[in-house]
Chains A and B, each alone.
Chain A
Amino acid sequence: MPQIKIYQEDHIPSPMSRIWSAFTDNPFAFAGLWAVCCLLLLALFGPLIAPYSAEHQDPLALLLAPSWEPTGTVEHFLGTDDLGRDIFSRLLHGAHLTFGMALAIVITALLLGFIIGSISGMMKGLKSSILSHLLDALLSIPSLLMAILVVAVTGPGLGNVFWAVGIALTPQFVRAIHQAVHEELQKEYVTAAKLDGANSLQIFWYVILPNIMDTMIIQTTLGISAAILDIAALGFLNLGAQAPSPEWGAMVSQGLDNLLTAPWTVTIPGVAILCSVLAINLVGDGLRSALSPIRS
């Protein structure tokens, strides 16, 4: 039944609902959002639903193929590795190491980047230039080199990955937020607010902040996917998570010895990383195109 229109005025959607409807118009982005929500749930509750513990070794089921292979059994849904550990359970246990760690790193980097970037963006001249360029030197050290440096100072381990990837990510946030604030400051509506007598704190909080939100959101999604790939790469190189840990990149490197006889020990964690990064990038892409009519 068609809705009866009583009032003459059209319903004017708020900016948020316009972004939401533009976002949901893209089915891929929406699928990505569902996948990210599932990942979040897995990162939180994964260990609870895992059939085995991450270190449980089943000596009767070494290098068992995944269940869809003729030799596989359904007890070990994604097969087992060379110590008889259930890969499915390890993936679930690893979700909060890889994905949760990436989230923690990005949130920390976002907070730091927000503080430094907005202060340096609001300031003018030499001070602003020093603050923003100071971190450009760090920006030029690739994340992997930064990780090598951190590992050289403190030794390998998952905790040091936090610092390594965090130090490598923070300058990107600082730069993005600095540039966004700087660009908004040049615009006329900021001048109008200034003429109205707003002090710089008010200008930043009420005038500029709502307009740099989209940059921050996009940068955050980019940061999460970069952080997952970095954590996994470090785990793979044995510089991050160490051997028995079910971190996904470390799982790939642990499966490396059996690459020829049991390729699934490498393929399945790799597919897990690929899918989670892909889901985040889909959401990021969808957000970017949903926000772009407002941005341009």
Chain B
Amino acid sequence: MARYLIRRLNLFLATSLVLFLVMFIATGKFPVEHTFALTGLQSPTSQELAQIEQDYQLDSSQAHQFFAYLQQRLSGNLGISATSQNPVIDELTAVLPASFELGIVAGLIALVLGLPLGVLASLSKHKITQHTIMAITLTGYSIPVFWLGLSLSLWFGVQLGWLPISGQINLLYDIRPVTGFLLIDTLLSDSQYATSAFIDALLHIILPAVTLAVLPFTVVVRITRAAMISIMEQTYIKAAEARGLHTSVIVLRHALPNAFIPVLKNLGLMLGAFASYAMVVEVIFSWPGVGAWLVSGIYQRDYTVIQGGILAVALIIIFLSILIEVIHTAMNPLSRKELYAAN
């Protein structure tokens, strides 16, 4: 296992290096002054210019420049935003928690609703139930997320007036950021309006989270169903049935843990698409997360924000997908066997 972990760590480092290389090449190709693309300083003084040249080694070879670039970025120097003049790293840490909050809530909704529905779809013998569930999931899989978000906000937000459709919380509430996760911060806050602020934050997250949850939900239902159907045919399920166990015990104890393994694997594969969808959802619902920040960065041609955002999001995705792969291997004895056989 240690050897496997080292190999995965190796993969993480190598992939991140390639990512930095791609970003380094792209930075050189931005249609602005190279120093501006690197630091975000619109018109640096001669002193700053000398500092930039020294920091990024602009007068040495490309390889030296790349390592200087790597050093600067890894030490947290992402430059300053050209529009707000704040350091990019500060802005990034301010917007990341909101995105994580949205992603976690959406993922939870997808898993909590998707797993039982997938199991139900696999157990039901009715053609109509099966076809309905498959039709719903296929539609959910094909729906363009921006259109779904607009339709939901038009219907539930404007026509019925049930749910707020923009932002993270009503601006009247003054919540001190502790963890950055607004749902937790409102609970931690000691103001007398903490409960109503929490409810308000909860109402704000419903529409974006549901919109974002549609894609992972459909994938979870389909994979769970397919895995359950093949598992329920296995001999150990027949043995459990022969022992007289109740169906619910068989499903929960014997089948579901095994059905969860392919679901986990597909969650890892879906991360990229999920991140793309999350960015669109953030733009539609003006959710103050990293996606909306990046898209406004591209509208204003704020090159340091673009670089910092892409680096952060891509690194997080690389890390999470490798983490999911490791968990998948740890949970799945079969793939561990393959692993030892390969070595």
Flag if B142 contacts A141 (CB, 8 Å): no
- Known A-B contacts A142-B317, A278-B139; A236 and B280 likewise in contact (beta carbons under 8 Å): yes
- Report the minimum CB–CB distance from A143 to chain B (whole Å): 5
Flag if A232 contacts B144 (CB, 8 Å): yes
B139 contact set on A, CB distance < 8 A: 274, 278
- Interface membership of A95, Cβ < 8 A: no
- Interface membership of A263, Cβ < 8 A: yes
A236 contact set on B, CB distance < 8 A: 144, 146, 280
| Among B14-22, B201-209, B242-250, the stretch in contact with A | B14-22
- Interface membership of A203, Cβ < 8 A: no
Flag if A270 contacts B151 (CB, 8 Å): yes
- Please tell me the size bucket of the interface on B: 35 or more
Binary flags per residue of A145-164, CB closer than 8 Å to B gives 1, else 0 = 10011011111000000000
B151 contact set on A, CB distance < 8 A: 267, 270
**CA of A144 to CA of B158, assembled, Å:** 28
- Interface membership of A119, Cβ < 8 A: no
Flag if A140 contacts B321 (CB, 8 Å): yes
B272 contact set on A, CB distance < 8 A: 139-143
Flag if A137 contacts B280 (CB, 8 Å): no
Flag if B317 contacts A266 (CB, 8 Å): no
- Known A-B contacts A145-B314, A229-B144, A270-B144; A153 and B29 likewise in contact (beta carbons under 8 Å): yes
A-B contact count (CB 8 A): 132
Flag if B298 contacts A233 (CB, 8 Å): no
Q: Which of B11, B31, B275 lies in contact with A145, CB distance below 8 A?
A: B275
Within 8 A of B (CB), among A148-192: 148-149, 151-155
Q: Which of A137, A237, A259, A280 lies in contact with B15, CB distance below 8 A?
A: A137
- Interface membership of A47, Cβ < 8 A: no
Flag if A137 contacts B22 (CB, 8 Å): yes
A209 contact set on B, CB distance < 8 A: none
Flag if A252 contacts B310 (CB, 8 Å): no
- Interface membership of B279, Cβ < 8 A: yes
- Interface membership of B318, Cβ < 8 A: yes
- Report the minimum CB–CB distance from B37 to chain A (whole Å): 9
- Interface membership of A94, Cβ < 8 A: no
Flag if A140 contacts B298 (CB, 8 Å): no
- Interface membership of A74, Cβ < 8 A: no
- Interface membership of B4, Cβ < 8 A: no
Flag if B303 contacts A152 (CB, 8 Å): yes
Binary flags per residue of B137-162, CB closer than 8 Å to A gives 1, else 0 = 01101111111001100100010000
Binary flags per residue of B5-30, CB closer than 8 Å to A gives 1, else 0 = 00000010011101100100010011
Within 8 A of A (CB), among B182-200: none
- Report the minimum CB–CB distance from A115 to chain B (whole Å): 20
**CA of A274 to CA of B145, assembled, Å:** 10
Closest-by-CB residue of B relative to A276 is B142
- Known A-B contacts A140-B15, A259-B150, A281-B141; A148 and B298 likewise in contact (beta carbons under 8 Å): yes
Flag if A144 contacts B279 (CB, 8 Å): yes
**CA of A226 to CA of B16, assembled, Å:** 25
Binary flags per residue of B289-330, CB closer than 8 Å to A gives 1, else 0 = 000001100110101001001100110011001000000000
Which residues in B have some Cβ–Cβ distance to A below 8 Å? 11, 14-16, 18-19, 22, 26, 29-31, 138-139, 141-147, 150-151, 154, 158, 272-273, 275-276, 279-280, 283, 294-295, 298-299, 301, 303, 306, 309-310, 313-314, 317-318, 321
A–B pairs, 11, beta carbons within 8 Å: A142-B275, A144-B275, A144-B279, A145-B310, A148-B294, A230-B276, A232-B146, A233-B280, A237-B280, A238-B299, A249-B146
Which residues in A have some Cβ–Cβ distance to B below 8 Å? 133-134, 136-145, 148-149, 151-155, 225-226, 229-230, 232-233, 236-239, 249, 252, 256, 259-260, 263, 266-267, 270, 273-274, 277-278, 280-282, 285
